[in-house]
Amino acid sequence: MASESNMVAVPSQNIPSGPPLTGGSPDKAEAIKDFLRAFLRHKSALIGSIIVLMFLLMAVIAPLITPYEYTERSQELLAPPSADHWFGTDEMGRDLFTRVVYGSRISLWVGFVAISGSIIIGSLLGLIAGFYGGWRDSLISRFFDILLAFPGILLAIAIVAMLGPGLNNALIAIAIINIPTFGRLMRSRVLSVKEEDYILAARAMGMKNSRILWKHILPNSWTPIMVQGTLGFATAVIEAAALGFLGLGAQPPEPEWGTMLSDARQYIQLAPWTMIFPGLAIMLTVLGFNLLGDGLRDLFDPRMKR
């Protein structure tokens, strides 16, 4: 009898070791401190976060740091950078520094809303496909395959062509083409997590599928989604700029960076600054989110830690 009781005690002691079944850890605050210390020591993540915060701050305080309205015109057409116009002026005499600063609002807004939509829809579909399997998995996976069968930017162009040019329609297109990325990532993560011992123990305890799904599997599957979301933000900024460059995104006089590049391409030799500064803004924004995403991946993945 004593040996039987010992055999029963072993799995019961192992059940609370799963992260979702603990109900909260007293070491959580210390774990957050350790993460922050590691984050501050990670050069890529730190540099990326500084760049991202710089653009976020620039977007928030745009009216305070710009000397003109972004639609305001002057008599100085294609003027080079000067004390009055730090980035010069465009072909209509508008201050480029003002337009680049206000353009950060549009690019960051498009990236945030589009990627948030992709994460919500894609993760929900991936969660259902990975957890329930069967015909649901087949149907959702085929939907992902159809979207992935087209190059992303071409599919975005097709969607905007059907809906009509405009910033909101470009935002919808960017959200749609990024759904499979997050959906397949979530599906693969759920397939792995649902076979863990603590999930099997929860099933043995009679826990409902809905509770297992939302309380245990989802919290343990969000980390790669967050990392991919950071990297996807950079992709969304590029896609928004590409659609704007083709005339399918934000429409004039909105100061969207891709649209500014499109308007300035005919002046690349006469006034190269009209393309240099919007291009630098795109490059730095994408670089910041990529560095931040790579840093988070290293910090969250034990195999990547040095």
Q: Is the pLDDT of residue 12 over 90?
A: no
pLDDT-based confidence at residue 15 (cuts at 50, 70, 90): very low
Prior bond of 253 cis (ω within 30°): yes
Place of tokens 């399918």: 248
DSSP H stretches of helix in 69-204: 96-132, 134-148, 152-163, 167-193, 197-204
First-residue to last-residue Cα distance in the chain: 48
For 100-104, 172-176, 265-269, which range has the lowest pLDDT when averaged over its residues? 265-269
Compute the 3-state secondary structure of the chain and give helix, strand, coil in percent, each to the nearest 5: 75, 0, 25
Regarding the domain with residue range 41-68+86-304, which homologous superfamily does it belong to in the CATH classification? MetI-like (1.10.3720.10)
Angstrom distance (rounded) from CA 6 to CA 188: 36
- Residues 21-61: pLDDT tens digits? 444 455 677 878 888 888 888 888 999 999 999 999 999 99
1 burial level (CB within 10 Å; 0-12, 13-18, 19+): exposed
pLDDT tens for residues 270-288? 999 999 999 999 999 999 9
Asked whether residue 220 carries a pLDDT value surpassing 70, the answer given is: yes
